[in-house]
Structure 1
Amino acid sequence: MERLSLNEVSSIIKELKETNQYEKYQDMILDDFENHQVVYTLDSDEIIALAYKNKTIPFKMLEFYNWHEMNVLIAEELD
């Protein structure tokens, strides 16, 4: 999956907000963090835009997981 330009991200986010789908994707990202402790390497708008453009959901975008940060969170939880 290739990164999007700032203009592409902005236009996709604008479209999602106009169609009331933006909150659905935001909820997915919050759910990913709360239930699975998934941390992404990109900001939430860029993850949402990439997921929408590629017709997938954030949780399936493994290449954008911040594995180091997730391991730190898991280690903290185990202590």
Structure 2
Amino acid sequence: MTTKLSTKGQLILPKPIRDRHGWRSGCRLLVEDRGDHVVLRTADSIPETTLDELVGCTGYAGPQRSLEEMEAAIARGARESR
């Protein structure tokens, strides 16, 4: 099957492909650039990660921070990077 890229960079996926994967209007897709080809996957197929699992990956061993403290640190970092 082939399809055509629009002038806006939009692509219409053929209906048999959409039906086979259960992709409907508004479905979120993950686009992976693999160098010589592109892979589309349903974004929801990525396993959810809990905050505890994510924090465990950072190696941070300091005191627990509040959401307000984290947001302030992010804002500070954004200002400093300008």
TM-score for both structures, normalised by structure 2: 0.20
Could you say which structure has the higher helix fraction?
Answer: 1
Higher relative contact order (CA 8 A, sep 6+): 1
Could you say which structure has the higher strand fraction?
Answer: 2
TM-score for both structures, normalised by structure 1: 0.21
